[in-house]
Structure 1
Amino acid sequence: MASKLMRGTAILTFGTVLSKVLGILYIIPFYWIIGGEENAALFNYGYVPYQIFLSIATAGVPLAIAKYIARYNAIEEYAISRKLFRSGIFLMLVTGVLTFIAMYALAPILAVMQVTSSSDGFTAQDVTAVMRAVSFALIIIPIMSLFRGYFQGHYSMAPSAVSQVVEQLARIIFLLSGTYIVLHVLDGSIVTAMSIATFSAFIGAIASMLCLLYYYFKRRPYLRKQYEADKGTLHISIPALYKSIIVTAIPFIIVGVASSLYQQYDLFTFQRIMVWLGDTAKDAQDKLGVINLSAQKIVMIPGTLALSFSVALVPLVSSAFIKKEYHVVHKNLTDVLQMTLFLTVPACLGIALLAEPIYTIFYGYSAFGTDILAFYAPIAILFSLFSVTAAILQGIDEQRFTVLSLLLGLLVKSVLQMPLMSLMGTKGALLATGLGYGVSVIFTLIIIRKYAHYSFKRIGQRTVGILILNAGMLIATYLVYLLFSQFISPEHRLSSIVLLLICVPVGIFSYGYLSLKTRLFDKIFPGRGDLLRRKLRIN
């Protein structure tokens, strides 16, 4: 089981990280095409509501499908798995069309709620046009996501990984070429360009769907042979299957929509609070664009790893849990939690330390953007932990608590937003988000301890060790950065790249060296430390 977790996570991580990296790198030419990050706020106004509607459209069904397929395959009831998949296709088709109609129709109302009436920012009509353009993707993506869940339920992660990359490439090519043609060839408006940019989600979804269909038909003979080996001892009706899907899927919706709900709350409140504090509507929109798009995209890169872990984790934990193999469940929980901390903590802290050159490379130099990124990056550790702990709850059939954990977090966010922004300005909104996620994570950990009978003693010990190693890494990296930044300016893209090429290897080497020297690496990745020490000649 552990090897499946590692292998599945490795495949999904590679595909997901590559997809996310592409989703970050395109920002550089995109910002050049649209004339800077001030126009990117319009993109964000349309995209965040879309993500919420998308979570409703998919309704958590893909991951629920993965969970139940893994469960029924584990007891060789393959016919039920096939029935579950086929019924899910119909469900996704219906929910996709209905949510598309709902978003298209509600776009004017949501637009009015997101922007102020001031004339120095984007108007509700502008936001409405962008929201309606992206809504078309809702027709395709639910079915596409279902196919990914189907493959993941069979522990086949490659189709999901490859389709993510294909989706991102098709989306980016259409987005960049479309916006360039609109603005620099046809001399069109920024609203039309942003509509093209958001519509690219539909193009990417089509490309991904074609990729998944290729894998499906290629593996159909194997799936048919598996179906013929069905035991046939269980008989579950379609209504019963739908009931299982819906009950299981609701918490998956909550996890998928969590980040978007926090962002949507900022879209509803941030600009109004900042205007009340003395900013112009345009300045408030620009700041919102930084926290909800520019910085958000960078800080969520480490969270991609946690998302890959959680997707690979659910079928494995569910399968072991249904067989009552609790020692396997506990081992998988330990593996995924310590790997998440070992990899995401240094990534988030490293982004915070090197925020100035990182932000400059992607968006151009901005003292405000750098400050926000440095403050925001450590909070992403909590995003990662929430994804993983919520997945654990789903795997042990205690998903009902996922809903409560998110509601508690959003309550904390809503209560603290105004007072913290009054004290800290833009950072107050980020701190409120971090405290909200912190409450959610603590709550999920308590539930895991109670219902999985899992002791966090070992994870606590690992966390202390990881933090000590990170302190050493940060000191070494900071000293090198301080030295070279004296004569290599982080205010220009080329010199920022040079700085990162110097500092990032120092951080990776120091962290790797310390983890191998202290043998912490061996405890997290058994059997791999000795080989690396021999190659690197570390005693």
Structure 2
Amino acid sequence: MADSKLVRGTLILTASIFISKILGLIYIFPFQAIVGLEGLALYSFGYIPYTVLLSVATLGIPLAVSKFVSKYNALGDYETGRRLFKSGLIVMSITGLISFFILFLLAEPIANQVVDGKDLKGNTIDDVILTIRMVSVALLVVPIMSLIRGYFQGHQSMGPTAVSQVIEQIVRIIFILCLTFVIVHVMNGSIALAVAFATFGAFVGALGGLTVLLYYWFRRRVHLNNQLLESKVNHHLPLTSIYKELITYALPLSFVGLAIPLYQMIDLMTFNKALYGIGYDQVAVDKAFGAFSQAAHKLILIPVSIATAMSLTILPTITKSYINNDQTLLQRQVTQTYQIILYLTLPAAIGLSLLANPAYGALFGLEDIEIGAWILRYYAPVAVLFSIFAVTSAILQGINQQRFAVIGLLAGLIVKLSFNTFFLTQLGAVGAIYATGLGYLTSLGVNIWAIGKYGNYNYTFVLKRFLLISIFSLIMAVIVVVTKEAVSIVLPLENRLNAFIVLLVSVAVGGLVYLYLGIRSNLAGQILGSRFKFLNKKQRSQESGS
């Protein structure tokens, strides 16, 4: 039952996050057509500092609340979680307000750091300042919304989070595309102004997501209040004790949640200057950074969305198993988590890397395909590292060893910071990808070791599964390359339609081959068969025999 609930919760969140990522990817195509790669770079200049401040504003509290509520619910104490929720809304409102003022006031120093004010071409310092200040308004709403999501997740209810994420994304995208189109093509406004209003879409989307969460709250209020009446115990913890315990969860969680934003912040502060030093002008830097931080990054986050959903789902379930000292269930949950991540993300990342040219050409056009596909080819495999880091950090938090997730992240950031400028000057734009990969490998080394030692986890079985998945992925990779080359002979990558057909055929053939291998070997059935009965070869054989 617990395994089924884990998979069900994962599927709900995976679906919502996957839909959100797909929507976030799809809107980039018309958005880029309106503002170009330089506009995407400007969008990143504003959005990256925002994501960092957002993580600081929430201090990891939403996921910490999920863990806290799950823990006390398991003990039969629903009252303590409710008291935390009520006071947390006030705390999130205050931290959101403080973070808004900080980001608003830091806009100018950040702009001076990331843009060459001497170059009259490309994005200017004033453009970056306006963009940062427009996106900072979202900090007033998003922390509150995140806390409510965490409370629902603590009750192992993933629906509110899933629906609100999708609605938030839809509202944000409609606002961005409509307003930027009007500004550029109707009002003949500047690209910089259009991008600034695009970042303001984060605030508008957050209002949409918050509305959905409030709807769920009022709809389930009676049920949640009945749980309070059914509380078996009440620990009567003072708020000081509640927040002391919460902070022990939240601080490590806030660091882990900052992983990708902090890596991007290092790039934001070093990428441009390093490329200036080897002869890039502002326009070339804008295009490279736009492709790296937005176009390619959006694509690789699609397989990472699975890991994001897993990390949200497994935290309360593993916490419950750990609190109840159910080692057998805990080991099974960790094994299942590793298998799902590897089975789904490894072939996706490999395929995306091999199909970088048709993927970028089909989705973003052929104008900047040389730099865009080049970056995507190297960046795609890093998605596997992002994914495993997300779930291993969640596992460490679930077994109360979150300090190692922090240690691993800090070690990785030090490696990233130490090598980023060097790799950029030696390898060009892809140097930032090498530094990111090396940093995440360092973090994973710490996380995997800590889970083995403090979770008493034996990796033998997972390593065997990893080897089998790698073999299947390699076979798939060969088929994908052969298919791509064969179709490209008939339909060379000379236009967007040809690129789309090459991509579609290659993905279809590779996906079918990988699925066939998984079903034929019953690997797919053993990993996902409890939810997708058609994948379970043995069960199908038994049913047909009966």
Same fold (TM over 0.5): yes
Matched with 1:3 is 4
Q: Indicate yes or no: 2:312 matched with 1:311.
A: yes
- Judged with a 3 Å threshold, the aligned counterparts in structure 2 of structure 1 residues 348 and 213 are, in CA distance, closer, same or farther, namely same
In 2, distance between residues paired with 1:41 and 1:181?
20
Offset from partner CA, 1:265-314 (integer Å, 9 cap, x none): 11111111111112113212221111111111111111010000000000
- Judged with a 3 Å threshold, the aligned counterparts in structure 2 of structure 1 residues 535 and 222 are, in CA distance, closer, same or farther, namely same
Offset from partner CA, 1:183-230 (integer Å, 9 cap, x none): 111111222111110000000000000000000100011101111001
Match of 1:424 among 405, 424, 427: 427
CA contact (8 A) 2:79 2:234 kept: no
Matched with 2:504 is 501
Matched with 2:217 is 216
Q: Percent identity?
A: 40
Matched with 2:138 is 137
In 2, distance between residues paired with 1:479 and 1:118?
48
Matched with 2:167 is 166
- Judged with a 3 Å threshold, the aligned counterparts in structure 2 of structure 1 residues 242 and 293 are, in CA distance, closer, same or farther, namely same
- Judged with a 3 Å threshold, the aligned counterparts in structure 2 of structure 1 residues 533 and 308 are, in CA distance, closer, same or farther, namely closer
* Total equivalences in the alignment: 538
- Judged with a 3 Å threshold, the aligned counterparts in structure 2 of structure 1 residues 123 and 74 are, in CA distance, closer, same or farther, namely same
In 2, distance between residues paired with 1:529 and 1:63?
29
CA contact (8 A) 1:118 1:281 kept: no
Matched with 1:516 is 519
Matched with 1:74 is 74
Matched with 1:363 is 364
Map 1:109-258 onto structure 2 (within 5 A).
109-119=109-119, 120-258=121-259
CA contact (8 A) 2:412 2:441 kept: yes
Amino acid at match of 1:143: I
Following superposition, the deviation at residue 110 of structure 1 comes to 1.3
**SS across alignment from 2:117:** coil
Deviates more, 1:70-79 or 1:285-294: 285-294
Following superposition, the deviation at residue 538 of structure 1 comes to 9.8
Map 1:371-410 onto structure 2 (within 5 A).
371-410=374-413
CA contact (8 A) 2:64 2:253 kept: yes
Following superposition, the deviation at residue 416 of structure 1 comes to 1.4
In 1, distance between residues paired with 2:532 and 2:162?
27
In 2, distance between residues paired with 1:402 and 1:328?
22
CA contact (8 A) 1:15 1:164 kept: yes
Following superposition, the deviation at residue 315 of structure 1 comes to 0.3
Following superposition, the deviation at residue 372 of structure 1 comes to 1.0
Following superposition, the deviation at residue 387 of structure 1 comes to 0.5
In 2, distance between residues paired with 1:187 and 1:429?
36
Q: Indicate yes or no: 2:26 matched with 1:25.
A: yes
CA contact (8 A) 1:517 1:538 kept: no
Q: Indicate yes or no: 2:348 matched with 1:347.
A: yes
- Judged with a 3 Å threshold, the aligned counterparts in structure 2 of structure 1 residues 537 and 158 are, in CA distance, closer, same or farther, namely closer
Amino acid at match of 1:359: Y
Amino acid at match of 1:255: V
**SS across alignment from 1:162:** helix
Give unpaired runs (5+ residues) of structure 2.
Answer: none
Following superposition, the deviation at residue 259 of structure 1 comes to 0.6
In 2, distance between residues paired with 1:507 and 1:290?
26
Offset from partner CA, 1:64-97 (integer Å, 9 cap, x none): 1111111111111010111111111111111111
Matched with 1:57 is 57
Matched with 1:269 is 270
In 1, distance between residues paired with 2:65 and 2:455?
22
- Judged with a 3 Å threshold, the aligned counterparts in structure 2 of structure 1 residues 26 and 481 are, in CA distance, closer, same or farther, namely same
Following superposition, the deviation at residue 492 of structure 1 comes to 2.1
CA contact (8 A) 2:20 2:169 kept: yes
Matched with 2:92 is 92
Q: Indicate yes or no: 2:489 matched with 1:486.
A: yes
Following superposition, the deviation at residue 536 of structure 1 comes to 13
Matched with 1:412 is 415
**SS across alignment from 1:454:** coil
In 2, distance between residues paired with 1:185 and 1:168?
24
Supply the RMSD in Å over aligned alpha carbons: 1.7
In 1, distance between residues paired with 2:540 and 2:503?
26
Deviates more, 1:271-280 or 1:463-472: 271-280
Following superposition, the deviation at residue 253 of structure 1 comes to 1.2
Matched with 1:449 is 452
Following superposition, the deviation at residue 135 of structure 1 comes to 0.3
Amino acid at match of 2:15: F
Match of 2:465 among 457, 462, 465: 462
In 2, distance between residues paired with 1:184 and 1:535?
59
Matched with 1:38 is 38
CA contact (8 A) 2:183 2:194 kept: yes
Offset from partner CA, 1:119-178 (integer Å, 9 cap, x none): 233222211100000000000000001111111111111111110110000000000111
In 2, distance between residues paired with 1:458 and 1:421?
39
Amino acid at match of 2:431: G
Following superposition, the deviation at residue 532 of structure 1 comes to 3.6
Deviates more, 1:184-193 or 1:310-319: 184-193
- Judged with a 3 Å threshold, the aligned counterparts in structure 2 of structure 1 residues 296 and 230 are, in CA distance, closer, same or farther, namely same
Following superposition, the deviation at residue 339 of structure 1 comes to 0.5
CA contact (8 A) 1:516 1:529 kept: no
- Judged with a 3 Å threshold, the aligned counterparts in structure 2 of structure 1 residues 37 and 324 are, in CA distance, closer, same or farther, namely same
CA contact (8 A) 1:357 1:491 kept: no
CA contact (8 A) 2:135 2:196 kept: yes
Following superposition, the deviation at residue 116 of structure 1 comes to 2.2
- Judged with a 3 Å threshold, the aligned counterparts in structure 2 of structure 1 residues 530 and 267 are, in CA distance, closer, same or farther, namely closer
Deviates more, 1:168-177 or 1:510-519: 510-519
In 1, distance between residues paired with 2:461 and 2:87?
42
CA contact (8 A) 1:78 1:226 kept: yes
**SS across alignment from 1:117:** coil
CA contact (8 A) 1:302 1:380 kept: yes
In 2, distance between residues paired with 1:166 and 1:491?
37
Offset from partner CA, 1:226-257 (integer Å, 9 cap, x none): 11001234121111111122221111111221
> With structure 1 as the length reference, what TM-score do the two structures score?
0.97
Deviates more, 1:112-121 or 1:402-411: 112-121
In 1, distance between residues paired with 2:234 and 2:137?
42
Amino acid at match of 2:52: I
> With structure 2 as the length reference, what TM-score do the two structures score?
0.96
Following superposition, the deviation at residue 505 of structure 1 comes to 1.4
CA contact (8 A) 1:360 1:491 kept: no
CA contact (8 A) 2:405 2:446 kept: no
